[in-house]
Amino acid sequence: MNNKIFTILENGVKISYDVILTFKSEKTHKNYVVYTDNSLDEDNKLKIYAAIYNPDTFEFIATVDTTEEWIEINKILEKVL
């Protein structure tokens, strides 16, 4: 997938992220975007982030904070990757 999202830091630096996938949860009825900055964590695994977003505007609504949501995201990632 070649979709990108961007954020601008307080110092004006623009950061680019690659979108891995988007989906709507049947459990929470929320829309999620899963993305990466292509960096690796201390275990040499790809760092993956997720957020709840509005699919009409692609505006971020909230970060993913609950363990239950991360479990669902990981299950979906296992199916598609």
Q: What is the pLDDT of residues 25-77, one digit of tens each?
A: 999 999 999 999 999 999 999 999 999 999 998 889 999 989 999 999 999 99
pLDDT at 80: 87
CB-CB contact of 32 with 22 (8 Å): yes
pLDDT at 1: 46
Residue boundaries of the structural domains of the chain: 4-80
pLDDT at 2: 59
What's the CA angle centered on 27, arms 25 and 31, to 5 degrees?
Answer: 25
pTM (whole model) above 0.85: yes
